[in-house]
């Protein structure tokens, strides 16, 4: 315990990791493909959209060599829908994460969930697993918050606000969403009271996890310690019960 590093990722680390997410841009200048450790970037031809990692997209944006296309879930209509879902539909659960890109059709064949509408991209390979799902490109489904929603949204609002339609409204909606979900996170620990020890955090984003990891783990640990003696007693009883059952079986035989 000499090294008091927090368990898990801290917010700055999460923000760094989120820069690997792919995002769609509209280039303004030609740029040849760059070979990188993560693979080649697509060659940029001005009117044609391309997917780049967020860090590169931000760099090009800063140099005024590209415009960023905000992901569909970051548009005001989509955010309004999510806020509505969070507040009215289920006041306890978080809004669901984006659906997987493939689903089974019941006959053992996997079909793409939503067919891509973009033309000229048929040769692109379909990515099935996180963390490289195209959850923030223009193909992302609207109405669902991806894992890195808060970091992507904040970064885009800070550095590419002019590319986001109706940025002030988006900013206000994001604040609402953040507040609602933070309140849910705090309230969710109440479910631990019964001693189930299980917390449903489906749909919670990376930044939210980094923020409340210490607190939630602390509560879980505290409840576990408080219930340790009762748990030991219960187990003993269970074992005794098993023994009795066995002896009953023996009698029956």
Partner 1 sequence: MSYYDIDAILTDAEKVPCKFELDIPELGYLDNNPAQPLKSGTTVGLPLWLAELLALANRAPSSADEEAKSFVSLNLPPSLSNEVMSALKADPRAVPLRDQSHNFYGLGTRMLDLFEEKEICAILRRTFVTRAADIALHAGKAGATDDMGIGGGEEFLRGLEEWERKLFKKAHDGAKGSKEWMEGVKKHRR
Q: Name the β-bridge partners of 26.
A: 67
Comparing CB distances to partner 1, the nearer of 7 and 119 is 7
**Is there binding between residue 20 and partner 1 (CB under 8 A)?**
no
Residue 235 touching partner 1 (CB under 8 A): no
Helix axes 206-252, 167-188, angle to 10 degrees: 30
Distance in angstroms (rounded) separating the CA atoms of residues 234 and 195: 12
Nearer to partner 1, 140 or 192 (CB): 192
Pick the binder of partner 1 from 40, 62, 103, 124 (CB under 8 A): 62
DSSP state letter for 192: G
- Considering only residues 17, 26, 199, 223, which one is a binding residue for partner 1 as defined by CB under 8 A? 223
Residue 148 neighbours by CB under 8 Å, 6+ apart: 14, 17, 18, 21, 135, 136, 205, 206, 207
| CB burial string 113-138: b at 16+ within 10 A, e below | eeeeeeeeeeeeeeeeeeeebbbbbb
Closest to partner 1 by CB, 5 or 129: 5
Residue 15 binding partner 1, by CB under 8 A: yes
CB count, 10 Å around CB of 142? 15
User: Among the candidate windows 21-29, 84-92, 140-148, 215-223, which touches partner 1 by CB under 8 A?
Assistant: 215-223
Of 26 and 219, the one with the shorter C-beta distance to partner 1 is 219
Backbone dihedral angles phi then psi of residue 72, each to the nearest 5 degrees: -60, -30
Counting contacts by CB under 8 A, is residue 227 touching partner 1?
yes
Note whether 168 binds partner 1 by CB under 8 A. no
Q: Is 132 in the site for partner 1 (CB under 8 A)?
A: no
Binding-site ranges for partner 1 (CB under 8 A):
1, 6, 10-12, 15, 58-59, 62, 154-155, 158-159, 182, 185-187, 189-190, 192-193, 195, 207, 210-215, 217-219, 222-223, 225-230, 233
């Amino acid at each position: 315990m000499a090294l008091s590093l927090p368990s898990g990722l801290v917010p700055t680390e999460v923000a760094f990791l989120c820069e690997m997410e792919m995002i769609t841009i509209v280039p303004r200048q030609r740029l040849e493909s760059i070979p990188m450790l993560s693979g080649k970037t697509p060659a940029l031809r001005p009117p044609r959209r391309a997917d780049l990692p967020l860090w590169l997209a931000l760099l090009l944006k800063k140099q005024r060599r590209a415009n960023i296309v905000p992901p569909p879930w970051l548009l005001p209509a989509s955010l309004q829908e999510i806020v509505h879902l969070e507040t009215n539909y289920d006041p306890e659960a978080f809004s669901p994460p984006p659906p997987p890109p493939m689903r089974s059709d019941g006959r053992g064949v996997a079909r793409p969930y939503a067919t891509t509408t973009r033309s000229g991209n048929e040769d692109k390979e379909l990515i099935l697993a996180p963390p490289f799902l195209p959850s923030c490109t223009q193909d992302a489904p609207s109405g669902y918050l991806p894992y890195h929603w808060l970091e992507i949204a904040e970064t885009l609002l800070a550095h590419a606000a002019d590319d986001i339609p109706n940025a002030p409204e988006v900013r206000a909606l994001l604040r609402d969403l953040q507040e609602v979900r933070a309140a849910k996170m705090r309230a969710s620990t109440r479910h631990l009271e019964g001693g189930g020890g299980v917390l449903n955090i489906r749909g919670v984003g990376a930044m939210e996890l980094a923020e409340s990891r210490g607190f939630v783990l602390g509560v879980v640990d505290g409840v576990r310690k408080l219930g340790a003696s009762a748990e030991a007693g219960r187990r003993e009883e269970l074992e005794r019960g098993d023994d009795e059952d066995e002896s009953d079986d023996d009698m029956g035989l």
